[in-house]
Amino acid sequence: MKAIARVWPWVAPYRRYALAALGLTLASVLINLYIPFLTARVIDDGIQTGDSGFVRQTVLLMVALILLGMVMSAASTAMAVRLAFNAVTDLRRDLYNHTQTLSFGNLDRLPSGELLIRLTSDITKVQTVLTMGLSVISQAPFLFVGALLAIVALDASLVVIVLFMVPVIGLIVWYVITRSGPLYDAVQSRLDRLNTVLQESIEGTEVIKAFVRQDHETERFDAVADDLAEQAITVNQLVASLMPTLIAVSGFAIAAVIWLGGNSVIDGDLSDGTLVAFITYLAMVAMPMMMFAFVQPLLSAAGASMARIHEVLVVTPDVPESAEGIDLATQDRPGEIQFDSVCFRYPQADDKHESGNDDGPRVGNNALTDVSITIKQGQTVAILGATGSGKSTLVHLLPRLYDVTEGSVKVGGVDVRELSKSSLRRHIGLALQSPQLFSGSVMDNLRYGRPDATDTEVVAAASAAQANEFIMAMADGYQSEIQQGGANLSGGQRQRIAIARTLVTNPAILILDDSTSAVDLETEAKIQDALAAFTDRTVLLVAQRISTALGADEIVVLDDGRVCANGTHEELLASSEIYQEIFRSQLGEAAK
C-alpha cells in the first residue's frame, strides 16, 4: 500500500471527484443496507399475513430504491473514472517530462524497453486501481460495518458465526496478499526483460538475418517468454484459489446460520423474515472481503508498478541544470572551445551505453585522460583516432550529454557547467553517424530543431548537405513522408538529412560525429566545401576516415583516450607515427 500511496500527489488536485464518489458510494451502500430490512417486512408483515397491498407497496419502494442506488453507483463510478484518467494523465506527463531531463548516463542505466513498459503498462495498472479503488474498494468498509451492525441488531446470538467467519477470511486474504506482492514484482521484472529482448530483435532484424541467427533469437525469446509465463502462472494460480476459498468459507457460515436460525424459527424465537434478512446481511459482511479479494491482484500489480514508476521519478539527473544559468548568447565568442585537463570515466562497470557509433566507452577505466585542446572560433578541427579512442566521448562532453570526471570544458570562455543547458545546446549542432529520423514529412524533420525556419533556409541547408537533389527526386519533394526511423531512405540519405537538420539551426558549433561515414567521398568533399563557406562557425569533424580530416585547419589524433598528436596534415605526416600509420593504411604510400 505504500507504493500505491505514492500516487496521492497526482490524485490530490482532483480530490473533489474523490469526495463526490465517496458521497455517492455511501448513499448507495445505505440503500443496499435498507433493502434486506424491507425484505424482512415483506415476508413477516405482508406474505405471512396475506396483505397483498403491503407487499405491492413495499416491493415498489424496493424497486425505486434499487434504481436510485444503481444511478448513484453509476455516478460514483463516473467520478472515479474522471479522477483516475486525469491523475494518470498527469502522472504519465510528469514521468515522460522527467525522462527528458535525464542525462545519457541516467538513460544508460534505464534501458528504453523498461522505460516504455513504465510509461505504458505500469501506468495503466495504476489507472485501473484508481478507478476500482473509488468505485469498488471504497464500498467495502461502509458495507462491512453497516451489515455487521444490522446483524447485531437482528439477533446477537448468531453473531458468533460472524466472529468465526471474519478472522478466517481475513487470514486467507492476508496470506495471499503477502505471497502475491513479491510475485507480481517478479512478473514485472520478467516483462521488462521480454520487452527488451523483443525490442532488440526487432531493431536488429537485419543483423539477425545477415548472420542467420533467427534460431538463436527464437530460443532467446522463448526462454524469457517461458520464464514470464511460469512466473505469471504461479501468481495467478495463487490468486485464482482465493475466490473459491472465500466462497466456501462464506457458504459454511450461511449453512451454520440456516441451521441455528432455522431451529430458532421452529422454536418461535425468530421470524422467517428476520432469518432471511440475517442471511442477506451475512452475505454483505462477506462481500467486502470478496470484493477486496477480487481487486487484490490489481492492488499488488499496481503497487509493484507504482514502485517502478517511483524508481524513475526519484532519479536525479547526472547532468544537473546550472544554478547560474548563463546564456551563451551573451558571450563574445560562442564558438570558442577549450578542453582543460579533461578526464572522463563512465561510472559503473555494469553501465550500458550506446554512443551512436562504434566509439563506445571503456567502463571502469578512463575513457579520456588529461585531454587539453583549444579551438578558436571559426576553426575546423578534425578529431581522428581508432575505434574506442574516445572521439565521440570527447565531443559528447560539449553539449553536456555527459559531464567531465575531472578538468573542465569551456565554451565561449565559460565552463559548460555554468551555462544554461538549453542555451548551450541551442548553440551546438550535433549530427551522429546513426541519425534518428522521425515519422512525418522531410520538411518536418528538417525543421525539427527550428520550427520557425523559412523554406529558403531549409532548402539552403539541404543544399549544403547535398540532400536537396535526392529530396526533390522523391514523390512529393520536401513534403514526402519519412517512415519510422527513416526506413525508406538509404544510410547516406539519412545522414545528409541529419546534417541538413543540424545546419537549419545555424549553430555556432557544428559537430559531425562520423556523420558522413555512409556518404561517398565525392559527396563528402562537396559537403565540406559547403561548410567552409561558414567562416564564423566552429566545426568539429569526428572521423575514422582520414579523407574527412584532410581539409581541416587542425587535426587532433586520439589514442586510448589521450591526445597523442595535433597539428595540420603536413605537420602530423612529418612528426606523428600514429598519423603516418593511419595515412598509409587508408591512402597508401603513393598518396603522399
Residue 369: which CATH number?
3.40.50.300
Instruction: Show the beta-strand stretches assigned E in 324-423.
Output: 337-345, 366-375, 380-385, 406-411, 414-415
- Where a domain ends, among 281, 313, 345? 313
Instruction: Show the beta-strand stretches assigned E in 228-365.
Output: 337-345
Q: Is there a single domain that holds both residue 307 and residue 342?
A: no
In a domain, 409, yes or no: yes
- Number of separate helices (H) and strands (E) present in the chain: 23, 12
- From the CB of residue 85, how many other CB atoms can be counted at a distance below 10 Å? 14
In a domain, 465, yes or no: no
Q: Is there a single domain that holds both residue 265 and residue 413?
A: no
- Where a domain ends, among 290, 313, 336? 313
Alpha carbons 459 and 137: distance in angstroms, whole number = 60
Q: Is there a single domain that holds both residue 297 and residue 355?
A: no
User: 236: domain range?
Assistant: 2-313
Q: What's the whole-model pTM score?
A: 0.73
In a domain, 502, yes or no: no
The total domain count for the chain is 2
Q: Is there a single domain that holds both residue 281 and residue 390?
A: no
In a domain, 471, yes or no: no
Q: Is there a single domain that holds both residue 375 and residue 254?
A: no
Q: Is there a single domain that holds both residue 186 and residue 333?
A: no
Q: Is there a single domain that holds both residue 355 and residue 219?
A: no
Alpha carbons 554 and 337: distance in angstroms, whole number = 14
In a domain, 194, yes or no: yes
Is the Cβ–Cβ distance between 305 and 125 less than 8 Å? yes
Is the Cβ–Cβ distance between 59 and 41 less than 8 Å? no
Q: What is the DSSP letter of 21?
A: H
- Where a domain ends, among 313, 347, 381? 313
Task: Give the Å distances, CA to CA, from 322 to 42, 230, 295, 351, 395.
Answer: 76, 48, 46, 25, 20
In a domain, 320, yes or no: no
Q: Is there a single domain that holds both residue 82 and residue 216?
A: yes
In a domain, 136, yes or no: yes
Alpha carbons 81 and 17: distance in angstroms, whole number = 9
Alpha carbons 524 and 539: distance in angstroms, whole number = 15
Q: Is there a single domain that holds both residue 372 and residue 294?
A: no
Q: Is there a single domain that holds both residue 154 and residue 285?
A: yes
What is the chain's pLDDT, residue by residue, as a tens digit (592 residues)? 565 678 889 999 998 998 998 899 899 999 999 999 999 889 988 888 888 899 999 999 999 999 999 999 899 989 989 999 999 999 999 999 998 888 877 877 776 767 888 888 889 888 888 887 767 777 888 888 898 888 888 877 777 888 888 888 888 878 887 787 788 778 877 877 887 788 778 777 767 877 778 888 889 889 999 999 998 898 888 878 877 888 888 888 888 888 888 888 887 777 888 888 888 888 888 888 777 777 777 777 788 788 889 888 988 888 888 777 899 988 888 999 999 999 998 866 344 433 344 444 444 578 999 999 999 999 999 999 888 889 999 999 999 989 999 999 999 999 999 999 889 999 999 998 888 898 899 999 999 999 999 999 999 999 999 999 999 999 999 999 998 878 889 989 999 999 999 999 999 999 998 888 888 888 888 888 888 776 678 999 998 888 888 888 999 999 999 999 999 989 998 998 888 888 888 877 544 4
Q: Is there a single domain that holds both residue 177 and residue 139?
A: yes
Contacts of 273 (CB under 8 A, 6+ apart): 39, 40, 41, 42, 43, 44, 45, 48
In a domain, 469, yes or no: no
Q: Is there a single domain that holds both residue 350 and residue 279?
A: no
